Amino acid sequence: MGLFDLPGKLSVDPRISSWLAELGTITDEPPGLTRTFLSPALERAKQLVAGWMHDAGLRVHEDQAGNLIGRLDCGNAAAGTLACGSHLDSVRNAGNFDGPMGVVAGILAAERVRASGAVLPCHLEIVAFADEEGVRFQTTYLGSRYYVDHLGEAERAFADAAGITVGAAIAAHVPNFPPPPARHLIGYVEAHIEQGPILEAEGLALGVVTAIAGQTRARILVAGKAGHAGTTPMGMRRDALTGAAECVLLVENMARRVDGLVATVGQLEMSTPASNVISGGVQFTIDIRHAENATRQRFSRELFAEIEKRLHARDLEVRIEIPLAAPAAKCAPKLCGQLAEIVERHQVRCPRLVSGAGHDAVALAEVTDVTMLFVRCRDGLSHHPDEFASAEDIALAVDVLAEFLTGFSSAAHG
């Protein structure tokens, strides 16, 4: 039985496609889509989203870290707050759906809840987080960690390429809304594209996430000695690039030997690139993921030790920085059960998935119960301009989210 054999016809709100397309044009680096922490494009995107939140009947705030919050008060100041949202920042040359899809779905679901007249025994906050991808500062969840008051001194000290620290960027950011009211979080739900092939392979639109893989992000700085490419004999070189190249292949070879582990060198910069100069300095990143923290930590230790050994054997200096070591996050079985039950009213079954991608739900899981709703995406492709999820699948996610937000509020106090 296919998705549409079930009773009732899905209505697809045209704003799903038009809003995501419009957000997809707001970029720091045209022609591709790039929106980073507190950048001019992120500010423009937030203005657009603030208008949509306001028109949906939400009270709009912005916090010092640039998270945009649309709130539905339940009338009882002492009540807890249920949060729902995703991130508005992107990777470089991104697709239109990773992050914004969850923000748009949250706004439309909240509008549906408000229009239904459902009595909410808890406050509802729809959040567009300001930094999940970590492109600017090479660390991640800055917005959601600020939102849950878990942004520590170490994170605030990280500097971007211009030497501006996270703390200075936040202090310089002037929110153009009054400060948000105090909140006591009692749950978090996030709709996000799957960024993988499983739902599409199973012919299903939606799935529920039971766990989110932990991730370690490292920055490897390699120092050798620049020299003349024409006059320096091969045996007398301290070539930083060939040393780094040996390590890039080492990452791939070692990762292939560990079940369920992925490791990626996504960035590599040379300090003074020139075709006739031996490389004196190289910096590259390593992104390591696994569902089990102990496996990821053990692999990281072994990899970094081998990298140091190989580079020292080449008479190169090496410094390894770890801007991020985010543990795996378990989603709350009770919330996942509630969400899956609603999904199964709309499709024949509800797959449970582990997310290899990181999400703001990891930061929220440090302070409250979380669950995630995955939406099928074409070819499982993400972090790519061709990323795509259908308006029909997103509309189904909005239906499920609206039911969850309403049902959760009664279940939270039931």
Among 158, 335, 358, 408, which residue interacts with ligand HGY (rule: CB under 6 A)? 358
CA dihedral 235, 238, 239, 243 (to 10 degrees): 100
Residue 360 lies near ligand HGY (rule: CB under 6 A) = no
User: Token pair of 306, please?
Assistant: 């081998």
Q: How many CB atoms lie within 10 A of CB 71?
A: 21
Residue 133 lies near ligand HGY (rule: CB under 6 A) = yes
For 236, residues 6+ apart whose C-beta sits below 8 A from its C-beta are none
User: Token pair of 314, please?
Assistant: 């080449």
> Is 203 in a helix, a strand, or coil?
coil
Residue 88 Cβ vs Mn ion, minimum distance, rounded to whole Å = 10
Residue 45 Cβ vs Mn ion, minimum distance, rounded to whole Å = 15
User: Token pair of 365, please?
Assistant: 């899981």
Number of residues that bind Mn ion (CB under 5 A): 2
Q: How many CA atoms within 13 Å lie on the side-chain side of 152?
A: 5
Quick one: what does residue 99 bind among ligand HGY, Mn ion, none, with the CB cut-off 5 to 8 Å set by partner type?
A: Mn ion
Residue 155 lies near ligand HGY (rule: CB under 6 A) = no
Residue 98 lies near Mn ion (rule: CB under 5 A) = yes
Piece in contact with Mn ion (CB under 5 A), picked from 7-15, 26-34, 91-99, 253-261: 91-99
Quick one: what does residue 358 bind among ligand HGY, Mn ion, none, with the CB cut-off 5 to 8 Å set by partner type?
A: ligand HGY
Nearer to Mn ion, 137 or 304 (CB): 137
Residue 360 lies near Mn ion (rule: CB under 5 A) = no
d(CA 204, CA 190): 18
Nearer to Mn ion, 86 or 279 (CB): 86
Residue 357 lies near ligand HGY (rule: CB under 6 A) = yes
For 20, residues 6+ apart whose C-beta sits below 8 A from its C-beta are 96, 97, 100, 101, 104
Among 132, 155, 239, 387, which residue interacts with ligand HGY (rule: CB under 6 A)? 132
> Is 229 in a helix, a strand, or coil?
coil
d(CA 354, CA 328): 10
Residue 131 lies near ligand HGY (rule: CB under 6 A) = no
Quick one: what does residue 399 bind among ligand HGY, Mn ion, none, with the CB cut-off 5 to 8 Å set by partner type?
A: none
Residue 125 Cβ vs ligand HGY, minimum distance, rounded to whole Å = 21
Residue 215 Cβ vs ligand HGY, minimum distance, rounded to whole Å = 7
Residue 137 Cβ vs Mn ion, minimum distance, rounded to whole Å = 15
Piece in contact with ligand HGY (CB under 6 A), picked from 27-35, 67-75, 132-140, 329-337: 132-140
Contact 126, 110 (CB under 8 A): yes
Number of residues that bind ligand HGY (CB under 6 A): 5
- Cα 174 to Cα 27, 67, 86, 169, 233, distances in angstroms: 21, 12, 22, 10, 56
Residue 95 lies near Mn ion (rule: CB under 5 A) = no
Residue type, 396: L
User: Token pair of 152, please?
Assistant: 């520590």
Nearer to Mn ion, 87 or 290 (CB): 87
Nearer to ligand HGY, 102 or 281 (CB): 102
Nearer to ligand HGY, 166 or 311 (CB): 166
Rg for the chain (alpha carbons), in Å? Answer: 23
Nearer to Mn ion, 94 or 255 (CB): 94
Among 80, 99, 100, 224, which residue interacts with Mn ion (rule: CB under 5 A)? 99
- Cα 70 to Cα 225, 385, 411, distances in angstroms: 54, 28, 22
- The burial class, CB within 10 Å (0-12 / 13-18 / 19+), for 159 is middle
Binding site for Mn ion (CB under 5 A): 98-99
Binding site for ligand HGY (CB under 6 A): 132-133, 140, 357-358
